Chains A and B, each alone.
Chain A
Amino acid sequence: MAIENIKTVVLMMYENRSFDNMLGHLSFEGLQPQADGLTPPLNRDAYANVHAGGMFFPFQRAADEQLQFDLPHDYNFVATQLSPGSDGPRMVGFIEAYAQSTGTEPNLLCDPMCFFGSKQVPVTSFLAQTFATCDRWFCPLPTSTQPNRTVAVCGQSEIFQTKFQDIPNTGDMFAWMHANNIDYRVYSDGLTFFALYVGLWPTIFTSGRWRPYETLAADLNGPNPPQVVIVEPSFQDGPHIGPDHPNDNHPPLAVGWGEDLLRRTYQALSTSPVWDNSLMVVYYDEHGGFYDHVTPPPFDQAGTGNAMPPSTPAAPVPYNTLGPRVPALLVSPWVAPRTVIHDQYDHTSVLQFLAERFTPGKPFSDNVARRAAQGIKSLSSALTAAASHLTAPAPPSDPIAFSYARIGDNIATPPDNAMGQAFEGAALKMLAEHPAEAERLYPSLGLWKTAIDQARAHNSSTTVSAT
């Protein structure tokens, strides 16, 4: 069985990019014509978006630069982006949602419609052209970060939007791995996303499984490499201090730092003893407001344990499809080289696969099984019986453009976005309730707290004086 050849699974989830944004170039540049990306001409009816009578089309970015705004991607904006008609989503409202969200008149070449060329995402493009690209991997829910990441870790989501909240972690994969004696570790390049789940704090603080990203390579080369490895980027909306660079690819961030993290992670894995029996999954939590031309298929979300957003006749929110397509790569000796997988996946494909591999005959959960019954495949469908690339190709050594990343710019005022508020709230709560554990795991967190307190006190006194 091919699945038994996989002994180490590496999961690396980035933030907020659509398939067309990161991988649309594969077909556009003729690098992987079989991938369902973008094809010339770009100003065709099938790609058109409209706003206030104007028409907007995909375009290739001239450079990897920081965007002016984050793009809208919570459930109400996704509904606008998908613009469902009588026969399903039409994918024509990405500019309309952007205009509503930013209050600006959109440029003709407007950020939601942009895509990268292969030279701007050299590591992503290299992995796509060397291993397997999944061109039917949808985010599980037509909404934002927190619900989609919750489905990725729990198989269902009891929340439907992103905000400062204690996210329920019912049925999470960590409890499942503990119960099934699966050795796992989480390597974070900043504050872990799982800090947003208060129910996971005891595990985070006491299991010894949450570690700094810098220890990944040594652990993969160590005597007991974990069976499941979760690699977390440094989240743009997380607390930052010192030389830390966000590298989660979340807009408005440029993707150069994320490419660098991907290259380092691939190098760490592919030069370690575990490479021959590994599967690395590179995927994105959701589309982040970027255009994708493929219509998400219909899907019964309520029937698979997901909370549903409010919907009224005056403000209907159809929540009856998968979310937009996201970039997804399978990097392993056990996938066909230079291949495109057209099977329908979502984030629960990973959970299906883990259950097939480590608890054969026993599904991860009822809701994951229900998603499978609606057509979501397991990643095992991409594996081959024979290995290729047992000697891993070296990643491109092209220099990566590191665009300016805003670090600490905004700490003098509280975050003005939902994810920033959620991260900050979780970090402050951690420090207040578990100061010793939090500072042991994240030594710079206390310094960050001091800095924001002082900056805000200074900001407040300046404002009062000015008044």
Chain B
Amino acid sequence: MKIAYILLLGLVACHPRIYSYDVSARDLGLTDSYSVSWSTRGSTYLTVHDNAMLYTTGPDVPPVVLLVSRDGRTDTVPLRGADTLRLPEEGSLSIRNVIGADSTPRFRYMKLVAHKYNKDSTRETQIAFYRAEAVGAVGFIANPSGDSLVAEGNYSAQRWGALYRILAVSDDMGNGDTAVLPRDVVVSHAGISVVLHPGDGPSFVFRDTPIDGWWSICSPIMAEEKQGRKEPSILHIRIIVKHL
């Protein structure tokens, strides 16, 4: 019995730990560089796995080739399948993709693993890589205000960061979802307002404004909704963004 708990005690004291794991950006252009820093206890490695940007299990996008800079030198690191990038217990590195700017947009899963005594501790971060022009959305929960629905709030500066600017916006309500009626929306952002109509082409009035900051999207409550049809829970627009 005593031996058993001494063994257990040893295992507890020696299990792997990840004290910190930070990735500098979450939305990037395909060739942008980013930094990774970590602090662990145990044998440490990084796995990198890319998937096409789909909402189901996207096909793999092999191979991943990275330019990894650390301690003043840069190496080309191809990662295939179960390949891992061995790391010290603490450090940082800068990573850039070796792929074309027009390659497939992808989600990258970067899993940091600390391993000790047959145990793993893991942390995983997802980074989205986009082409120079990419499509996204801005949306907020809609609440009734008089005869209108109002959806407003701050768009997070942590997404897209400072690397992308707005190119164009368009009305996307009811597009592909019969549960929501197509509708006009009034969009205000960066001191500019515009009315968007369903089916119209993109508007360029917000061109070159940053994506983060305050947004307001308003839309009149429609006759069917006043008669009992469910109002949309979210008002949103499509945005086309452009890498700087």
Taking the complex as formed, is B154 at the interface, i.e. its CB lies under 8 A from any CB of chain A?
yes
Interface contact A45-B180, CB-CB below 8 Å: yes
Partner of A87, one of B15, B26, B174, B230: B230
Interface contact B107-A55, CB-CB below 8 Å: no
Within 8 A of A (CB), among B58-87: none
Tell me the complex Cα distance, A28–B79, Å. 33
Interface contact A57-B233, CB-CB below 8 Å: no
Taking the complex as formed, is A241 at the interface, i.e. its CB lies under 8 A from any CB of chain B?
yes
> Interface 1/0s, chain B 231-244, versus A by CB < 8 A?
11110100000000
Q: With A55-B236, A68-B123, A109-B107 known to touch, is A455 a contact of B139 (CB < 8 Å)?
A: no
Q: With A53-B138, A83-B233 known to touch, is A451 a contact of B177 (CB < 8 Å)?
A: no
Taking the complex as formed, is B207 at the interface, i.e. its CB lies under 8 A from any CB of chain A?
no
Tell me the complex Cα distance, A46–B176, Å. 10
Tell me the complex Cα distance, A105–B27, Å. 11
Taking the complex as formed, is A206 at the interface, i.e. its CB lies under 8 A from any CB of chain B?
no
Interface contact B154-A52, CB-CB below 8 Å: yes
Taking the complex as formed, is B8 at the interface, i.e. its CB lies under 8 A from any CB of chain A?
yes
A455: chain B residues at CB < 8 Å are 8-9, 12-13
Partner of B140, one of A45, A50, A66: A50
B213 to chain A, nearest CB (A): 9
Tell me the complex Cα distance, A213–B231, Å. 50
Return the chain B residue nearest A46 by Cβ. Answer: B179
Return the chain A residue nearest B56 by Cβ. Answer: A60
> Interface 1/0s, chain A 85-125, versus B by CB < 8 A?
11100111100000000000101110000000100000000
Tell me the complex Cα distance, A90–B108, Å. 31
Partner of A44, one of B5, B126, B176, B233: B176
Interface contact B141-A90, CB-CB below 8 Å: yes
Taking the complex as formed, is A408 at the interface, i.e. its CB lies under 8 A from any CB of chain B?
yes
B4: chain A residues at CB < 8 Å are 447
Taking the complex as formed, is A418 at the interface, i.e. its CB lies under 8 A from any CB of chain B?
no
> Interface 1/0s, chain B 159-181, versus A by CB < 8 A?
10000000000000110110110
Q: With A55-B234, A85-B233, A447-B1 known to touch, is A48 a contact of B56 (CB < 8 Å)?
A: no
Taking the complex as formed, is B144 at the interface, i.e. its CB lies under 8 A from any CB of chain A?
yes
Within 8 A of A (CB), among B206-241: 215, 230-234, 236
A93: chain B residues at CB < 8 Å are 141
B12: chain A residues at CB < 8 Å are 408-409, 411-412, 451, 455
Interface contact A44-B120, CB-CB below 8 Å: no
B89: chain A residues at CB < 8 Å are none
Q: With A45-B180, A45-B232, A85-B143 known to touch, is A52 a contact of B153 (CB < 8 Å)?
A: yes
Return the chain A residue nearest B138 by Cβ. Answer: A53
Return the chain B residue nearest A54 by Cβ. Answer: B159
A109: chain B residues at CB < 8 Å are 55, 107, 126
Taking the complex as formed, is A291 at the interface, i.e. its CB lies under 8 A from any CB of chain B?
no
Interface contact B234-A92, CB-CB below 8 Å: yes
B153: chain A residues at CB < 8 Å are 52-53
Interface contact B159-A59, CB-CB below 8 Å: no
A61: chain B residues at CB < 8 Å are 57
Partner of A451, one of B8, B26, B122, B234: B8
B136: chain A residues at CB < 8 Å are 54
Tell me the complex Cα distance, A409–B42, Å. 14
26 contacts between A and B (CB under 8 A): A42-B56, A44-B176, A45-B180, A46-B177, A48-B233, A48-B236, A50-B140, A50-B234, A51-B156, A54-B136, A54-B159, A57-B55, A58-B55, A60-B56, A90-B233, A105-B159, A107-B26, A109-B107, A117-B57, A241-B8, A409-B121, A447-B8, A451-B8, A451-B9, A455-B9, A458-B9
Beyond the given pairs A51-B156, A53-B156, 5 more chain A to chain B contacts, judged by CB atoms under 8 angstroms and listed by A's residue number, are A44-B176, A92-B233, A107-B126, A241-B8, A458-B13
